[in-house]
Structure 1
Amino acid sequence: MKRSGRAASRLDSLQILRFFAALLVVIGHTQHALLERLGAAAGRYAFVPLDWGLGVDVFFVISGFVMYYLMHDRFAQAGATATFLRRRVVRVVPMYWLFTTLVLAVGLATGAVDLPWTNILFSYLFLPGPVCGEYCFPVFTLGWTINYEMLFYALFAIALGFPRRIGVAVVVGLIAGLIVMGQAVPVSWSMLHFWGYPIIGEFLFGIGLAAGFLRGWRVSRGAGWALVAAGLVLATVSYQLDLYDHIWRLWTGGIPAALILGGAVFGLEPRGAHGRWLAVLVVGGDASYALYLSHPVTIRVADAVAGKIGLFGHAPWAFWSGTVVAAVIGSFVVHHAIEKPLLARFYRRPNLGAGIP
């Protein structure tokens, strides 16, 4: 590895990777909707090369990277913990609560939501359960990943109260302890099982990569592409061999995600002025949270329209590709019409939103 000076605080390679991570999730959920419609006639549309949920693993590694990258020099500083938590709340909570409320309202109106009031309350508090199935899904099903994000923010905020070396040891110890506890407690303790799911270790991969980046680690562009390719190949092999059923997702998803992120930031950070398509991908990264939250709505609408015009019988591929494109376009609309105005409102309150990462 070559060493290089520190880069600017914003890394466009991360933004682009955020977009592709969200896109993987959209592709997977769209395929699932298509297979539900086609049933036994799915044929070639049923082929899945890799777990599309790899996008979630990439998101978690990115989150660990970004939090340490932005806050590495703030450990043990007065007010750092409070500032960090305020910024995280402003960035995540308003949009998530908005979509949770939308899903809840529609679900109550149609009878699709049948959860105890405690689970509804916990959904707004980013807590699992307390009445849990296998994954402790909240009202807005995709929110299980956001619950893990908020758990990581809480653990990282605790670590910020210590000097950096001790703080890093604290967050590593807390996450490792949760994983051990999650494996040790009885299965009936579903909430602790949720918190201790090994996937939370992926945040530590991101912290490690950020530490290396800040020390100046870099690779050539060729090596960067090789790392990305290695991550995708490893993810594909793991899925095709059903290793997900036998090995922790921390390894089958986390290691490929870490390789992909490492290749992107160490070797593929864009240099100089952006071309048109590169700029669009960066904007796609800005809208990745909106894409993640809004795409289930797009899939529902597309499914209803495609069913009425008979698209599933004549051109299933058109539903798949068209829905993915519509979800991306819709996320840009949501980002600019809803998310940015919400953030701007908090940006105007210096004590809450200034410098939101």
Structure 2
Amino acid sequence: MKLTYLVNVQILRFFAAALVVFAHVGVEVGNVAARTGRAFEEIGLIDWGLGVDIFFVISGFIMYYMMHDRFGAPGAPADFLRRRLIRIVPLYWICTTLMLASLLAAPQLINNNGLDLKHIVASYTFIPWPRADGELFPILSLGWTLNYEMLFYALFAVALLLPRRAGLAALGAMFILLIAAALLAPDRFFLLKFWGNPIIGEFLLGTCVAALFLNGRRLSGAVALGLVVAGIALALAFFQTAAYEHVWRLVTGGIPAALIVAAAVLGPALRENGLARALALGGDASYALYLTHPFTIKLFGVAGAKVGLPLVAIYAIGFALTVLVSVGVHLWVEKPIGQWLVRKTSSPKRAVRAAS
């Protein structure tokens, strides 16, 4: 029996989150090594942030796949935004509050760059705002990606006001104009510079993959595997070039990510087995994994250092713990809250669809 193509996407979500977690576990292990006088060298083979690029491409794919038949439909923009807010906001607010409490209670354990009311409010409202060191990171620093997600949701909701062809054209035009304006704007316009970063083009790459999928385009297993290999090879090659930091991330991360997502979506569906089901569950919990792993890593890093665990054990066990914790958070926190909000905000006819 084969799983569906969207399960392929869920499994890829898990691997994307795992890339980010792997990098952050390495950072914490490096911190432990520095505190305990041990030697450690991070694995710098690839930019592990490629996981974020994959997330952005998947997001563009999912949004267009879900809503492709609702362009111009009455109430579609509001329904879309309601579902996205239910999906994204609750767990992010919970984790942001936990990080805020941690900064206040144990600042010595966390890179505390200072707090002010504007930054706190901006962190909860998905507005990029400079913290004390001038960087545009929210209280939960990895929430910078969600600031881009919310921008995409807003622009996509505007596009949904129009018939499909006009809506897609408008969506592309809004992204292009935003990027162009940001490139021309002086640095003091930091909101425009952030929102107009070319990385937002990765969402459009995802919509292109969705259009291919909806038009019935499919790839053989061999071609799909070739795309994955090409995507990884490109990511490796870009990362090893001297000009890597000066090239748009849309190119160095977005193109490899789009190739990998296209392979997962357009290639053959995976056969059902225990491993595939476990990885799909990891994909279901990928948002929880992304948001909760900093807490798990930090706590286990402190505990592991105190009992003198070998660095490799802190790395391996820490990574495994982040996955286990995220599955628990997904099943017992994220999912019940989402289901409750769906029931409270949806008509019975739309409740099932809103939970997707």
TM-score class, shorter-chain normalisation, is: over 0.9
Structure 1 residue aligned with 2:91: 95
Alignment of 1:187-198 (within 5 A): 187-198=187-198
Out of 17, 22, 26, which is 1:22 matched to? 17
Out of 326, 329, 332, which is 2:324 matched to? 329
TM-score computed with the length of structure 2 as normaliser: 0.92
1:41 is displaced (CA, Å) by 5.4
Secondary structure at the aligned position of 1:62 is classed as helix
1:289 lines up with 2:284 in the alignment: no
Secondary structure at the aligned position of 1:217 is classed as coil
1:177 lines up with 2:177 in the alignment: yes
- Contact 1:135/1:144, CA 8 A, preserved across alignment: no
1:354 is displaced (CA, Å) by 4.0
Secondary structure at the aligned position of 1:142 is classed as helix
- Contact 1:130/1:191, CA 8 A, preserved across alignment: no
Percent pairwise identity: 47
Secondary structure at the aligned position of 2:141 is classed as coil
2-structure distance, mates of 1:168, 1:62: 17
The 1:134–1:72 alpha-carbon spacing in structure 2 relative to 1, beyond 3 Å, is: farther
1:321 is displaced (CA, Å) by 1.1
Aligned residues: 344
1-structure distance, mates of 2:39, 2:56: 32
Structure 2 residue aligned with 1:231: 231
The 1:338–1:309 alpha-carbon spacing in structure 2 relative to 1, beyond 3 Å, is: same
Unaligned ranges ≥5, structure 2:
none
1-structure distance, mates of 2:135, 2:46: 21
2-structure distance, mates of 1:318, 1:181: 48
2-structure distance, mates of 1:152, 1:170: 13
Secondary structure at the aligned position of 1:347 is classed as helix
TM-score computed with the length of structure 1 as normaliser: 0.92
Out of 333, 336, 342, which is 1:341 matched to? 336
Secondary structure at the aligned position of 2:270 is classed as coil
1-structure distance, mates of 2:27, 2:223: 34
1:84 lines up with 2:80 in the alignment: yes
Secondary structure at the aligned position of 2:154 is classed as helix
Alignment of 1:297-336 (within 5 A): 297-311=295-309, 315-336=310-331
Secondary structure at the aligned position of 1:348 is classed as helix
The 1:322–1:290 alpha-carbon spacing in structure 2 relative to 1, beyond 3 Å, is: same
CA RMSD in angstroms comes to 1.8
The 1:130–1:287 alpha-carbon spacing in structure 2 relative to 1, beyond 3 Å, is: same
Structure 1 residue aligned with 2:200: 200
Deviations 1:137-164 (A, max 9, x none): 0111110001100110000000000011
1-structure distance, mates of 2:100, 2:132: 17
2-structure distance, mates of 1:41, 1:247: 35
- Contact 2:64/2:207, CA 8 A, preserved across alignment: yes
Structure 2 residue aligned with 1:11: 6
Structure 2 residue aligned with 1:215: 215
1:275 is displaced (CA, Å) by 0.6
Which one is further off, 206-215 or 108-117?
Answer: 108-117
1:57 lines up with 2:56 in the alignment: no
- Contact 1:288/1:331, CA 8 A, preserved across alignment: yes
Alignment of 1:233-312 (within 5 A): 233-271=233-271, 274-311=272-309
- Contact 1:118/1:130, CA 8 A, preserved across alignment: no
2-structure distance, mates of 1:185, 1:50: 32
Deviations 1:46-83 (A, max 9, x none): 23110000000000000000000110110000000010
Which one is further off, 131-140 or 239-248?
Answer: 131-140
1:33 is displaced (CA, Å) by 1.3
1:347 is displaced (CA, Å) by 3.0
2-structure distance, mates of 1:131, 1:34: 26
Deviations 1:280-328 (A, max 9, x none): 01111100000001100110111111110122xxx21111111111100
